[in-house]
Chain A
């Protein structure tokens, strides 16, 4: 019995080790099985990384993202359907519900045919916009593959993207050239902080509907790097939604095609590597943060007793210590989380607005985590404060920690005593001199009673 359990545990451990941080059930939605075979390397790569891949046709009646109100799959990969729309079981509402329940989605588009309006309206909810007629393709006359698209210039050859900003980690970088045939471009809304471009078109690119003759000047919505080839959205619950403009880039034939840029050498594409990076990020194998133990207590020199840890109440002007343990998931294991070069992890001590905003410094490191900590003095204001760590960066899951504590006023016996305040000595002296004076007066009064007149008595 015992070894049976141990065996089961080992199985679970193995299963957990080889997998994404959020489950292994992957549903691929694609039209028919003939299409399936052209992506066979992708499927075998995914299965090799431990995913249970199941395939469904969008038209199938069995297709359902939910079972008994819970998610039936952890991840969803949608290939562009041939027919119009994704059918009644994959309406935008279903897909958003899937996202809201922490499911991750990789949506592939294709420039070959017009994208369905259902998908367009779904993307619109995430503030990702497709071109007006939904059938534009990205063209670049400088970065195209001379082998396969010498005429049409619609197979882009690009480097893998470096990090978006200096303070953001790079998850998709590396050597080599990507080939992206017939990309359906996306543009991102300007104000949503949840979306981020993964791969942007080069400055010389533009979008164009090949079925039309000449694009009208006023129809052009975006050009150059405003066009996205791959864009990503991470919802507030950290569910990930990636839009890939070119489904063909995932096909077997592009995984190891040899391509040649104008004026360049002939090279093999690194599409397979990029596909791995993209699916790994989308399905939460990378860029996942975990908050471990959070400790706060009064700053003391020695070890803190267990009952003094994370107290519910502090006093004003207490020196306080705060630490947070952070890990990052990297493909198959938790590793210590390291901040990007120009970034800081910050602690806020907030009541209505932050009273303190402090950088947390890494103080110690374990095998799987880094401990960040800081010390500060609680402000001279009582109220209900909260320790907040609000770390939200593109491509990293959101960290939003909020721990409420009460900061109370001085109790009646916590003020300095009167004799400890030098300014009070005047008053204390006054007090005692009055008391002493009164006592002296009483003594003098009592002992200076008039002497009884003896002469009268004798008379």
Chain B
């Protein structure tokens, strides 16, 4: 009885309904798992915005919510990049802020009063649920297997490669961009399959949304044309392709040009030229197809080859001409560093100085993707077996993104979706073959073997398959084990590696209890409460967004590194002698200087460890005044102890880091715990700055810039006088006396 009632549910049309319902429930569960695994950071710490860039996004969102859309669009931010300011409204990707602004207003409309901060904190987890859903749709297009989509959705939901950028509080562009990326690709596949203008237009719509949200949209801009190009080269041109591509390109380009930051880039920048070129090519191909219908084959061949050569030659010459004449902007530096990993180090230190632009270390692949990374090639292989249009897309995507992920750590993010698709394809193929219990019909087997004599030997055993329960059990069990391990690994990685806000640091006390190091916020709140509203803070650019967001004070440079010279100016001020730095500080109206010093705690991400980048960036602009070699000892070592070079010891950064540090230790025993060295017995002397604040663990030190001396002396003499040293009369001057004239 029970069996038959189950049959009612599982077979026929009601069976389809049941499976559909199950599918929805599974997808919802996956989305819930994706959201909840990202809440570790809120539970461990608190509902706080993480890291650096999110603080800017958060601040921009607050501005949007307070001042409305149009003033956000025209926002001139006078609290960053002092005194240049930043045309923020025109130099950001507004998608993220506008999305959370809309959510905020909808909730307000529904009379659910939610703090905008909570929306910002929880936006990334919320969108990760949607990403899992989009992943399901995308994978369902690739495979007829019912399990592939669900597996891909589950993988996408919890794989650390994606979680690393989307935990609660990680309010960055990637939070919504990955969803948009996956969904745009799904719509594109749909458009190519159906040859429908509607799907093409939808692709363009989501592409426009993607452009408004993340600079990584260039990946789509290049991947879709490449897909089309490869299909054309494979001789798979069809009107479906023509319709979907032209619709997408025309509408998508128009849409992307509405974003002020993008503007005319799609027709002027080399990064976008492939899309334009393919647009032209597909017109020619379409024309050729049209002509073929009216011409005999031989003539057509001639015409085609001559035309291909002509057009290619003309197009290439035109591209070179326009690039040389400057109409088309040259490739951006970030782009070059994708091909030559050493490029940035030599030419653009500011790009190379960011840790997430470094090449990926190989364990990171396993760390971020676990067993998916070895299912990935198998999945790509399965795509080769089927090789429909959409499988070509997967293959291209897989090849490109694996290369990019190897070049830059942060591009692991674009690799993750395709790894999930491919791994799901592979795993579903395995499960579909090994989970089915039924055996082949004995009659069919008998029939097949009875035909033996008539056919070739190779086709004799027509019924091929795995029928042994043993092998089925072993494979299924081991796969389940891998899946379980994967879940355990993801949970472990998420909770241990990717859930730290990096604004608040956690460490363990000797007894194992958690110890929260909250120096950043302590210092930023000190600034907020003890300095005038428009006190200018100078710090290295890493902390610009945080100072703007948490301390609400104007900064000189921040993480939007649009002006290299300004950053180099700050670098020069940090790496020069006080006599050189002070005029720079005065000119830029600096009131306070903030440095991060990890020496007491052993916090290695401090400014002295980044110091060489400051020197390098400053040297790029002032090669005569700043010289990296001067900061190394004669044996080429970077030292901060007794044997540090005079340039090092006199640099403002060194002085600010170690000023008064030895007062914490018994005489002559000051130790820097990051660099593990003993420091000189005497504290460096600061003349033009005075210590204003040092946080509990000495991580943040803030110095106030002194005003000019009231009596017109230089600060050396003024400080010497205050210390009670008598001034020497400069009687014996060389050369003739200088007479005073009025």
Hey, which bits of chain A sit against chain B, CB under 8 A? 92-93, 96, 99-100, 121, 124-127, 129, 132, 164-165, 187-190, 192-194, 196-197, 221-222, 226, 233, 235-237, 239, 313, 351-352, 382-385, 404, 406, 408-409, 411-412
A197-B87 in contact given A99-B710, A404-B534, A406-B78 (Cβ < 8 Å): no
Alpha-carbon distance A384/B84, docked complex (angstroms):
6
B83 close to A352 (CB less than 8 A): yes
A99-B711 in contact given A352-B83, A408-B76, A409-B76 (Cβ < 8 Å): yes
Residue of A188, A192, A235, A406 touching B710 (CB-CB under 8 A)? A235
Alpha-carbon distance A406/B710, docked complex (angstroms):
30
Alpha-carbon distance A386/B110, docked complex (angstroms):
46
A121 close to B727 (CB less than 8 A): yes
The smallest beta-carbon distance between B433 and chain A, in angstroms, is: 56
Q: Which residues of A contact B724 (CB under 8 A)?
A: 93
Hey, which bits of chain B sit against chain A, CB under 8 A? 70, 73-74, 76, 78, 82-85, 87, 90, 260, 534, 587-588, 707-713, 717, 721-722, 724, 726-727, 729, 731, 737-740, 742
Residue of A125, A132, A412 touching B721 (CB-CB under 8 A)? A125
Q: Which residues of A contact B534 (CB under 8 A)?
A: 404
Q: Which residues of A contact B737 (CB under 8 A)?
A: 221-222
The smallest beta-carbon distance between B325 and chain A, in angstroms, is: 21
The smallest beta-carbon distance between A181 and chain B, in angstroms, is: 25
A190 close to B726 (CB less than 8 A): no
A196 close to B742 (CB less than 8 A): yes
Q: Which residues of B contact A190 (CB under 8 A)?
A: 738-740
Residue of A96, A125, A187, A384 touching B85 (CB-CB under 8 A)? A384
Nearest 3 A-B pairs (CB), nearest first?
A408-B76, A411-B74, A406-B78
A129 close to B729 (CB less than 8 A): yes
The smallest beta-carbon distance between B273 and chain A, in angstroms, is: 23
A-B contact pairs, 9 of them (CB 8 A): A93-B721, A99-B710, A125-B721, A127-B713, A129-B729, A194-B711, A222-B737, A237-B710, A384-B82
Residue of B711, B740, B742 touching A125 (CB-CB under 8 A)? B711
Q: Which residues of B contact A129 (CB under 8 A)?
A: 729
Residue of A164, A189, A233, A406 touching B76 (CB-CB under 8 A)? A406
Majority DSSP secondary structure for residues of B touching A:
loop
User: What is the chain A residue whose CB lies nearest that of B721?
Assistant: A125
Q: Which residues of B contact A196 (CB under 8 A)?
A: 742
The smallest beta-carbon distance between A304 and chain B, in angstroms, is: 23
Residue of A164, A222, A408 touching B742 (CB-CB under 8 A)? A164
Alpha-carbon distance A351/B85, docked complex (angstroms):
11
Q: Which residues of A contact B707 (CB under 8 A)?
A: 236
Alpha-carbon distance A352/B724, docked complex (angstroms):
36
Q: Which residues of B contact A222 (CB under 8 A)?
A: 737
The smallest beta-carbon distance between A99 and chain B, in angstroms, is: 7
The smallest beta-carbon distance between A378 and chain B, in angstroms, is: 13
Q: Which residues of A contact B87 (CB under 8 A)?
A: 382, 409
* Beyond A408-B74, A409-B74, 10 additional pairs, beta carbon < 8 A: A96-B711, A125-B711, A127-B713, A193-B712, A226-B739, A237-B710, A313-B78, A352-B83, A408-B85, A409-B87
Residue of B84, B713, B721 touching A383 (CB-CB under 8 A)? B84
B712 close to A124 (CB less than 8 A): no
Alpha-carbon distance A100/B708, docked complex (angstroms):
12
The smallest beta-carbon distance between A202 and chain B, in angstroms, is: 16
A126-B85 in contact given A132-B731, A406-B76 (Cβ < 8 Å): no
A188 close to B740 (CB less than 8 A): yes
The smallest beta-carbon distance between B88 and chain A, in angstroms, is: 10
A351 close to B83 (CB less than 8 A): yes
Q: Which residues of A contact B587 (CB under 8 A)?
A: 352
A124 close to B74 (CB less than 8 A): no
User: What is the chain A residue whose CB lies nearest that of B73?
Assistant: A412
The smallest beta-carbon distance between A118 and chain B, in angstroms, is: 10
A385-B74 in contact given A236-B708, A352-B588 (Cβ < 8 Å): no
A226 close to B740 (CB less than 8 A): yes
Q: Which residues of B contact A165 (CB under 8 A)?
A: 742
Q: Which residues of B contact A352 (CB under 8 A)?
A: 83, 587-588
Alpha-carbon distance A15/B543, docked complex (angstroms):
54
Q: Which residues of A contact B710 (CB under 8 A)?
A: 99-100, 235-237, 239
Q: Which residues of B contact A124 (CB under 8 A)?
A: 727, 729
The smallest beta-carbon distance between B718 and chain A, in angstroms, is: 8
Alpha-carbon distance A93/B737, docked complex (angstroms):
29
Alpha-carbon distance A132/B534, docked complex (angstroms):
49
Q: Which residues of A contact B721 (CB under 8 A)?
A: 92-93, 96, 125
User: What is the chain A residue whose CB lies nearest that of B708?
Assistant: A236
Q: Which residues of B contact A125 (CB under 8 A)?
A: 711, 713, 717, 721, 727
Alpha-carbon distance A190/B712, docked complex (angstroms):
13
User: What is the chain B residue whose CB lies nearest that of A411?
Assistant: B74
Residue of A132, A233, A409 touching B711 (CB-CB under 8 A)? A233
Q: Which residues of A contact B76 (CB under 8 A)?
A: 313, 382, 406, 408-409
Alpha-carbon distance A124/B742, docked complex (angstroms):
20
User: What is the chain B residue whose CB lies nearest that of A127?
Assistant: B712
Alpha-carbon distance A197/B707, docked complex (angstroms):
26
Alpha-carbon distance A233/B85, docked complex (angstroms):
39
Alpha-carbon distance A164/B90, docked complex (angstroms):
55
Q: Which residues of B contact A192 (CB under 8 A)?
A: 712
The smallest beta-carbon distance between B593 and chain A, in angstroms, is: 18
A197 close to B742 (CB less than 8 A): yes
User: What is the chain A residue whose CB lies nearest that of B90?
Assistant: A409
User: What is the chain A residue whose CB lies nearest that of B739?
Assistant: A226
Alpha-carbon distance A129/B727, docked complex (angstroms):
12
Alpha-carbon distance A100/B82, docked complex (angstroms):
30
The smallest beta-carbon distance between A353 and chain B, in angstroms, is: 8
Q: Which residues of A contact B709 (CB under 8 A)?
A: 236
Alpha-carbon distance A385/B78, docked complex (angstroms):
10
User: What is the chain B residue whose CB lies nearest that of A197?
Assistant: B742
B83 close to A385 (CB less than 8 A): yes
The smallest beta-carbon distance between B62 and chain A, in angstroms, is: 19
The smallest beta-carbon distance between A102 and chain B, in angstroms, is: 10
B712 close to A194 (CB less than 8 A): yes
The smallest beta-carbon distance between A154 and chain B, in angstroms, is: 24
User: What is the chain B residue whose CB lies nearest that of A239?
Assistant: B710
User: What is the chain B residue whose CB lies nearest that of A241?
Assistant: B711
The smallest beta-carbon distance between B535 and chain A, in angstroms, is: 12
